[in-house]
Structure 1
């Protein structure tokens, strides 16, 4: 049964909701894959679980399903350019997009985490759940390799733009 809600109207309504921005990375046998995600939510503290929405037909979801582990870095407002790079279609290896950005590898997943992120989660894939044109990746958090001490502003996505907590454009000097 078709939904009575117009998809464009639905998308426009949800654009009014500010969301935190993360970088999801996966290391497979060939390369490092990354994508910008803003559909991230805490699911449980015991056991520690988060859920991430990914395009069902996208390469990151395919690689995550095959590898079974990933990392999430919570981005600071200063990472707006990084978020833009990883949200573009046809992007090269994650390592090439991060040439001037300090990063390390998470212990369990081996995936890239940004050293300057607000936080990073090392994760094991619990399961993928089909959800329309997306999948929800239910992730068990097995480590927290980055947890920033300083209170830097987070990167948010609002109305199709990256903004800081004040609503101003992020990543500008």
Structure 2
């Protein structure tokens, strides 16, 4: 699967105690009407637990200039998402209160409608409930063959 290029996103959740975030490349559009997306995360990870508990999350679609940020959010033993966005312009989503990156190419706020365990992952299907305004421009960041690349 590493040879299948995918876009790179940061998924964040405000769980009431702290902000949680992770780099996710298993993200996609499922339906246009109504707008539904899917996000797949490791079943044994904290992100799956928090999304299930809170029931909503935000997605920031990363641009090619955000490789370092993708790396920060994918590191093992990562600290709070608030620390990871330190020095990055961001705001809280109106609906989810999750962190949204201002320089993302696109952003979505989502409410979980269905959770499906699949192998070692959990796929969350979610309704898009808001589209936060972001200012990112330029090519997208993609993951291919285990590395980040610019889509131009």
In the alignment, is residue 64 of structure 1 matched against residue 84 of structure 2? no
1:18-63 CA-to-partner distances (Å, cap 9, x unmatched) read 1000000000110000000001111001111000110000001100
**1:148 Cα deviation (Å)?**
4.5
What is the match of residue 169 of structure 1?
none
What is the match of residue 42 of structure 2?
55
The SS at the match of 1:90 is: coil
Greater strand share, structure number: 2
2:72 to 85, 97, 106: 85
Runs of 4+ in 1 over 2 A off after TM superposition: 146-150
Q: Distance in 2 between matches of 1:75 and 1:146?
A: 14
Mind listing any 5+ residue stretches in structure 1 that lack a counterpart?
1-13, 167-173
Q: Distance in 1 between matches of 2:18 and 2:134?
A: 26
Which of the pair has more CA radius of gyration?
A: 1
Q: Distance in 1 between matches of 2:19 and 2:126?
A: 18
**Conservation of the 8 A alpha-carbon contact between 1:28 and 1:67:** yes
In the alignment, is residue 136 of structure 1 matched against residue 104 of structure 2? no
**Conservation of the 8 A alpha-carbon contact between 1:53 and 1:136:** yes
The SS at the match of 2:52 is: helix
The SS at the match of 1:92 is: coil
What is the match of residue 161 of structure 1?
147
Aligned Cα root-mean-square deviation (Å): 1.1
Mind listing any 5+ residue stretches in structure 2 that lack a counterpart?
none
**Conservation of the 8 A alpha-carbon contact between 2:14 and 2:57:** yes
User: How many residue pairs align between the two structures?
Assistant: 152
**1:147 Cα deviation (Å)?**
5.0
The alignment's TM-score, normalised by the length of structure 1, stands at: 0.85
The alignment's TM-score, normalised by the length of structure 2, stands at: 0.97
**Conservation of the 8 A alpha-carbon contact between 1:117 and 1:146:** no
